[in-house]
Amino acid sequence: MVSIPADTSDDDRTDVLPPGYRLGRWEVTGQIGSGGWATVYAGRPVDGTDAGEGEEVALKILPTAGLGPSQARKVADTARREVELGRRTGHPRLIRLLESLVLSDPRYPLLDGAIVLVMERAADSLRTLLAAGVSEDEAAGLFTGICEGLAHLHRSGWVHGDLKPDNVLVMADGSVRLSDFGLATELTGTHGTHGYAPPMGTLDYLPPERWKAPLGEHGVKVRPSADIWALGIMIHEAFAHGAAPFPGATPAARGAAVQEYAEGRAPLRLSGELPPFWRELAADCLAPTHAERGAHTAESLLARINGRPDGTASAAGAAIRRRRWLVRSTVLAAAGCGAAAAIWSYALPGNAHDHPAAVGSTGSASQSAGSIRVFNIEQSCRQRNDRSPQCSLGLAIDPLQPYTIDNVVPTRVWHGDVLPVDCRLPKGIPIIDEAGTESAQWFRVRLPEGSRRTTAWLPAVRTQDRPAVPECPRPTPLR
Amino acid sequence: MSGVVIYLPPGVGDHGEEPDGGVTLRLGAGETARFGRGSATTPVELRLIDAAISRLAGEIRVTEDHWQLSNHSTTQSYLVENPEGAGEYLRVPPRRAGAPIPFEFSRVVLPTRRDTTVAFQVFAPDHLYMDPDAVGGHRGTRTVTAYSLDETAIYFLVLVALCEPRLRDESPLAVPTTPQIVERLRAHPACARLTARAVSSHIDYLAEEKMRISAPDEYGPARGGRRNGKRESIVGLALRFGLVREEHLTLLPPRTGGGHGVHTGRHLG
């Protein structure tokens, strides 16, 4: 709700609070956005009160005036859920509710009696971050935070019930906060397995069983696996440029596609853009039935994200900082060695077998232990095969020395190249790629005939292969 | 998303073991059903018994929140009527493949050699309506009510009439009976010929297809019979979850005084 841009047209159904308007200990500084039932303002503590030192807050205003009794009850119920959840299950990954109050001002008849929720102020929502595009490591940081929040919610006996990128907020330091608990449901039932929520939700994030869920006295049945489904949709959106995993031009069409999949008439077709680890994770979250999804809890997913291959499970903020540093150093390396690009220019990806030196099984002096395929983390480089210098990657002379311009062989490699590999060095100098993935492992690869050197070193972050090759003898320092 | 429901009235379809009943067929998203006279080599899911209808006359395919009609006839057009649309209909010409049908309620009419026609009904309860506050359009990212009702449909008038006493705080307990609803809606232009049987069908449609009401325990005879239990559930849930609100009362025809509504049009003096 928070991320919807403010409607600047005159809407006679709402009053707008001017900057400087006081709400208890807080004053309005401007409007952030408005959604279905709420308008959100930015605010700050009024000087001289004990509200905190200059901390920016979000003031979520839920008007009740002008609504019929049943609608007003619905709004009050929404607010009650938020307050209840905030009071009972505080956690660093859930947006903090500072206070709730009631606006009382006859000058604004439409806002008189509105419920005001005072919350900590976020910098962005996941929705806006996804629109701008996130790297794999940034996404890893974000989903780590989301799973931490979800694991806490579920452990505390609550289901979020309306998980979507608009309700995942990101603070200025890059940390994640789940927000908008208007549909959050406390688990009841004999074993605390499910709860009942109002029959509301966001169509693109509803699990298949919800489209057919019967409506009972207390609402529809909601289980933690509903949040897991929504998580799967968000993972797909994060890696597929915002695209939903189910086809269709409208929410209704996508909902029908969800049904076809859940009833076994259509396979799950995830975008090829998802890296293998995330693809598997999304597929597990999007298991067709509640029972199959039940095997994957927020906690187990969190453990998998933290333990993913080469995963550093870093906070998103740290990942972004490191990314900047590394982009600079690789650009340097690429610029210094562009002249040598011609050497392998005919060994295009896919026909490496035509090039004896690239495989090492024919004509080489000795058999190599295996082969390894170069991987370029930059997606734009993976999509082209013109071996442009900007997309070339370097090989080190000495894996124990800093990976700088004078420690790189003239031979360049490109995404998809297959190199003969002799052995691996588990602990060389640590290398961080453009997405923030870090590894100290290196592979000794053979260079084509005619190169000045016979071997060079490929950092493990430059390949997704983990060939079963022997450990290298520790190289003798060159300098 | 539960797909569409096809209903062949008695006497139209081949209904095997139920000589007097109709045939009901439920299709999920992406599923198809062929209709026609059928034969051993031309199997159809919906058999229509009329010599003028070809073995494979057409096909229904559920797609997104609506359905498509393919006309396999090379000579005959089919009509799809909206029984609530005041004469609204579509003509699907011969050999048309996958014509999208926009009606929630449809009556598919096939011509025969005689002066009569063969017709069956198709219900598409999944039609999606935006929430009244969804001013910025519907992008699938807004929180909405997951049950959407067509506020211009007769079933919605029936629902509002059912809820009226409680919305007006007149009677916290009583839910109107079918004859009371027929009487209450009689002055509405769309309901002049509404029968008690139609009201019962609308109530069943609301309970089973639109709101998917659970809690069969409440339908026990101790509560005054199955039908009344269902009505009470519909009213309770529609009010609790805001499907019917005070503003909807204006959809009903004006009340004619005193709650008895019989003495109209009399001027004294």
B186, two tokens: 């009689």
Q: Which of A287-291, A340-344, B123-127 has the lowest mean pLDDT?
A: A340-344
- DSSP per-residue string spanning B64-129: TTEEEEEE--SS--EEEE-TTSTT-EEEE-TT---EEE--SEEEEEEE-SSS-EEEEEEE-TT---
**Continuous H helices in A49-99:** 69-88
Mind listing the pLDDT tens digit for each residue in B39-68?
999 999 999 988 889 999 999 999 988 999
Report the pLDDT averaged over residues A8-20. 65
| A71: nearest CB among B63, B215, B245 | B245
- 0.90 exceeded by pTM: no
Residue B177 pLDDT grade (very low, low, confident, very high; cuts 50, 70, 90): very high
Residues of B in contact with A258 (CB under 8 A): 1
Query: Which H or E run contains A127?
Result: helix A126-132
Looking at residue B13, its pLDDT comes to: 65
What is the pLDDT of chain A when averaged over all its residues? 79
Looking at residue A326, its pLDDT comes to: 35
Q: Does A212 touch chain B (CB under 8 A)?
A: yes
| B212: nearest CB among A7, A127, A215 | A215
A423, two tokens: 């052995």
The highest-confidence range among A85-99, A394-408, B13-27, B215-229, by mean pLDDT, is: A85-99
Q: Does B130 touch chain A (CB under 8 A)?
A: no
A222: three-class secondary structure by DSSP: strand
Q: Which of residues 397-456 of A touch B (CB under 8 A)?
A: none
Residues of B in contact with A248 (CB under 8 A): 64
DSSP label at residue A276 = H
| A214: nearest CB among B62, B213, B247 | B213
User: Which one of B135, B143, B169 makes the best mutation probe of the A interface by having the most chain A beta carbons within 10 Å?
Assistant: B143
Report the pLDDT averaged over residues B66-79. 95
Q: Which of residues 62-91 of A touch B (CB under 8 A)?
A: 68-71, 74
Looking at residue A347, its pLDDT comes to: 29
A220: three-class secondary structure by DSSP: strand
Does the pLDDT of residue A355 top 50, yes or no?
Answer: no
Looking at residue B108, its pLDDT comes to: 96
Helix axes A136-155, A224-239, angle to 10 degrees: 170
Which residue of chain A comes nearest to B207, CA vs CA? A215
Mind listing the pLDDT tens digit for each residue in A266-277?
999 999 999 999
Q: Does B139 touch chain A (CB under 8 A)?
A: yes
Looking at residue B19, its pLDDT comes to: 54
Looking at residue A405, its pLDDT comes to: 62
Rounded-to-integer distance, Cα B258 and Cα B256, Å: 7
Looking at residue A264, its pLDDT comes to: 92
Which residue of chain B comes nearest to A230, CA vs CA? B141
Looking at residue A333, its pLDDT comes to: 34
Interface size, chain A vs chain B, as Cβ–Cβ contacts under 8 Å: 134
Q: How far is A255 from chain B (nearest CA, A)?
A: 7
DSSP label at residue B140 = S
Residue B216 pLDDT grade (very low, low, confident, very high; cuts 50, 70, 90): low
Cβ of B2 within 8 Å of Cβ of A162? The answer is no
The residues near A391 (Cβ < 8 Å, ≥ 6 apart) are A376, A378, A380, A381, A384, A414, A415
Which residue of chain B comes nearest to A203, CA vs CA? B140
User: Which one of A70, A77, A185 makes the best mutation probe of the B interface by having the most chain B beta carbons within 10 Å?
Assistant: A70
Which residue of chain A comes nearest to B236, CA vs CA? A217
Does the pLDDT of residue B165 top 70, yes or no?
Answer: yes
**A428, exposed or middle or buried, with CB in 10 Å at 0-12, 13-18, 19+?**
buried
Rounded-to-integer distance, Cα A63 and Cα A37, Å: 7
Cβ of A69 within 8 Å of Cβ of B214? The answer is no
Q: Does B196 touch chain A (CB under 8 A)?
A: no
B129, two tokens: 């309506």
Does the pLDDT of residue A445 top 70, yes or no?
Answer: yes
Rounded-to-integer distance, Cα A435 and Cα A378, Å: 8
Q: How far is A285 from chain B (nearest CA, A)?
A: 19
B46: three-class secondary structure by DSSP: strand
Which residue of chain B comes nearest to A37, CA vs CA? B133
Degrees to nearest 5, angle at CA A336 with A335 and A340: 100
Residue B26 pLDDT grade (very low, low, confident, very high; cuts 50, 70, 90): very high
- Return the higher-pLDDT residue of A357 and A386: A386
**B202, exposed or middle or buried, with CB in 10 Å at 0-12, 13-18, 19+?**
buried
Mind listing the pLDDT tens digit for each residue in A233-250?
999 999 998 899 999 988
Looking at residue A106, its pLDDT comes to: 86
Looking at residue A58, its pLDDT comes to: 93
Q: What is the CA radius of gyration of chain A?
A: 27
ipTM above 0.85, yes or no: no
Q: Does B100 touch chain A (CB under 8 A)?
A: no
User: What is the separation of C-alpha A353 from the centre of its chain, rounded to a whole number of angstroms?
Assistant: 38
Does the pLDDT of residue A329 top 50, yes or no?
Answer: no
The residues near A473 (Cβ < 8 Å, ≥ 6 apart) are A423
Looking at residue B134, its pLDDT comes to: 53
Report the pLDDT averaged over residues B15-30. 75
* Structural domains of chain B, with CATH: 4-123 (2.60.200.20), 128-269 (no CATH)
- Express as a percent the part of chain A with pLDDT over 90: 34
Q: Does B214 touch chain A (CB under 8 A)?
A: yes
Query: Is A427 known to sit in a ligand binding site?
Result: no
| B142: nearest CB among A7, A36, A69 | A36
Looking at residue B93, its pLDDT comes to: 97
Q: How far is A208 from chain B (nearest CA, A)?
A: 9
- Return the higher-pLDDT residue of B261 and A202: A202
Q: Looking at A293-417, which runs of residues are DSSP E strands?
A: 370-373
Which residue of chain B comes nearest to A265, CA vs CA? B30
Instruction: Look up tokens 């789940």; give the residue.
Output: A178
Q: How far is A68 from chain B (nearest CA, A)?
A: 6
- Return the higher-pLDDT residue of B152 and A55: B152
Residue A447 pLDDT grade (very low, low, confident, very high; cuts 50, 70, 90): confident
- Return the higher-pLDDT residue of A477 and B237: B237
Report the pLDDT averaged over residues B174-200. 92
The highest-confidence range among A5-14, A98-107, A163-172, B251-260, by mean pLDDT, is: A163-172
Contact B48, B119 (CB under 8 A): no
Degrees to nearest 5, angle at CA A143 with A139 and A146: 145
Does the pLDDT of residue A323 top 70, yes or no?
Answer: no
- Return the higher-pLDDT residue of A329 and A440: A440
- Return the higher-pLDDT residue of A316 and A350: A316
Cβ of B29 within 8 Å of Cβ of A259? The answer is yes
Residues of B in contact with A217 (CB under 8 A): 215, 233, 236-237, 240
Residue B201 pLDDT grade (very low, low, confident, very high; cuts 50, 70, 90): very high
A208, two tokens: 């298949």
Cβ of A68 within 8 Å of Cβ of B246? The answer is yes
- Return the higher-pLDDT residue of B227 and B107: B107
- Return the higher-pLDDT residue of B98 and A46: B98
A2, two tokens: 């928070």
Residues of A in contact with B100 (CB under 8 A): none
